Amino acid sequence: MARVSFREQVLQAREEAIVSSVNRLLAQKGYDGMTVDEVAADVGIAKAVLYKHFPSKEALAAAAMVRVLDRAQARLAELAVSGMSAFERLQAVARWTLEVQLAGEMPSLPAQNSALRAALAADAGYMGKLLAVSEQLGEWITEAQARGDIDTAIPPEVVLYTLFARACDPVLGVLKASGAYTDERIVALLLATCFGGLQSRATATAARHPGRATRAAPAR
């Protein structure tokens, strides 16, 4: 294996510091609140030096998302050999995304920024990793539906988008700011509403089988 030169090591370390800063600032302030000047100052380099690594703010955000997807793929690989059922793996993925968000390590990106969307779509590393994560989750969703753990009336892509939405769930921030719940309780509550739904099991059963509730009622 060829040795990495000292100069390359310095460049890699600087790039790592830049991405770490972007990841943290995006989690704290969001994409619109973060500036390139702020990133450069946080890392301790000139703005011109930063642009040698990343040509735009959009490229910075893409790099931060690639890092998150790297972490997600590592977590999925662990779960794939965990012995858990598909449904349990999906729950574990949602739990992981919530915990990463609570730790202030989940970038917050706007959904309606056309320049950012174009930059992400043009980033081969980001798109490849996103596709790989989506395919793995899609397999588990299909398996969970086949086992009857997830309602087959819900299209798999809707389940997938719901899981992705947990990574930027605004409810988490509201509950955290209230100070009324521990982090563990917040995660438990959001997992319950995500996988259990807002209806109680009895209400959901009665809604699907109205005759069953009538037959089960005791005679007076």
Which tens digits make up the pLDDT trace of 107-116? 988 878 888 9
Q: Which residues contact 115 (CB under 8 A, 6 or more apart)?
A: 58
User: Contact, 65 vs 120, CB < 8 A?
Assistant: yes
Surface-to-core class of residue 89, CB atoms within 10 Å of its CB (0-12 exposed, 13-18 middle, 19+ buried):
buried
How many residues are present in the chain?
220
CA–CA separation, 18 vs 41, rounded Å?
10
65 versus 215: which is more confidently predicted? 65
Q: What is the mean pLDDT of the chain?
A: 88
CA–CA separation, 89 vs 144, rounded Å?
10
Which pTM does this prediction carry? Answer: 0.83
Domains and CATH numbers, the chain: 1-54 (1.10.10.60), 57-106+114-208 (1.10.357.10)
For 125-148, how does the pLDDT look when each residue is reduced to its tens digit (9 = 90+)? Answer: 999 999 999 999 999 999 999 999
